[in-house]
Amino acid sequence: MFKPHHLCAALALVALAGCSSTPPAASDPEPRAIAGQRLSSQFQREGIKVEFECRSRTGIIDRTCVSGDITAIEVTGYANSFGNSEANRENAFAAAQDEALSKLSRFIQQDINTSRVNDTFAKNIEKANDVLSNKGPSAEAIQMNDIEAQTSTYSGNRQNTNETVRSIKTSITTQSQAIVRGARVMSEKIVDKQTVAVTLRWERLHSKAVTDIQKMFR
């Protein structure tokens, strides 16, 4: 006779069987070698933006500008945090700001020096060790036929070593120096997993205002 508790046990077995048929979770992909890894391309880098204001035009076509002034410059610098802590984040923002200032300085003025040096070192070592077991003075010439040459006790040891080293060194030196007044931080943002960006903006009016303030505080 089939009892109610037998029905409960059968349902429990069916439920267990259904759970066991669930496919296993997919395993994590194998890590790639360093040579097979690629840099992140989730964001696009920005460089230097220059804003220009026209003072006079040709008059024939309103869009044609004859002369004008630079009113503002925006520069974006990037830096890696090398971690996800708050200290790493703040250090990365400071480094990105310095990088933006460096870009602005190089945009204004940059000195480039290049040089190439070609050094060649040659060393020639030659060793000779001749052993002659014939009788007679070693200074005399020795004459022998083919049969005597095969049975001769003459033995010689020659060594010759040549070493040549060539070194080519190319040096490129860049140097930039500028006094930047009135540059202010426009934005600070995280653009990638461990990459931050800082955008600086320099305006001509702000630079003049800073100069006037400096005169007032002197």
pLDDT (tens place) for every residue of the chain, 218 residues total: 545 545 444 444 444 444 444 555 555 566 667 777 777 666 678 888 888 887 776 666 666 676 677 888 999 999 999 998 999 999 999 999 999 999 999 988 889 999 999 988 888 877 666 655 555 445 556 666 666 666 656 555 666 777 888 899 999 999 988 888 888 899 999 988 889 999 999 988 888 888 888 888 88
Q: Are 144 and 112 in contact (CB under 8 A)?
A: no
Domain assignment present for 189: yes
Domain assignment present for 196: yes
Q: What is the DSSP letter of 85?
A: S
Domain assignment present for 3: no
Domain assignment present for 93: yes
Strand ranges for the chain from DSSP E: 48-57, 65-80, 111-131, 155-175, 183-190, 195-203
What is the model's pLDDT at position 179? Answer: 84
What is the model's pLDDT at position 204? Answer: 84
Cβ neighbours for 198, distance < 8 A, ≥ 6 positions apart: 76, 77, 79, 93, 96, 97, 99, 100, 185, 187, 188
Domain assignment present for 38: no
3-state secondary structure of 180: coil
Domain assignment present for 81: yes
Instruction: Give the chain's end-to-end CA distance (angstroms, integer).
Output: 108
Structural domain boundaries enclosing 103: 43-110+175-217
What is the model's pLDDT at position 46? Answer: 83
Q: Are 47 and 102 in contact (CB under 8 A)?
A: no
DSSP 91-149: HHHHHHHHHHHHHHHHHH--EEEEEEEEEEEEEEEEEEEEE---SS-TTS-----HHHH
Q: How many residues does the chain have?
A: 218
Residue 91 falls in which region: left (phi positive, over 0), alpha (psi -120 to 50) or beta: alpha
Which residue, 98, 81, 105, is CA-closest to 191?
Answer: 81
Q: What is the DSSP letter of 153?
A: -
Domain assignment present for 20: no
Backbone angles phi, psi at 34, to 5 degrees: -60, -40
Which residue type occupies 191? V
Domain assignment present for 202: yes
Q: How many C-beta atoms lie closer than 10 Å to residue 192's C-beta?
A: 15
Structural domains in the chain (count): 1
Q: What is the DSSP letter of 5?
A: H
Confirm whether pTM is higher than 0.75: no
Q: Are 79 and 188 in contact (CB under 8 A)?
A: no
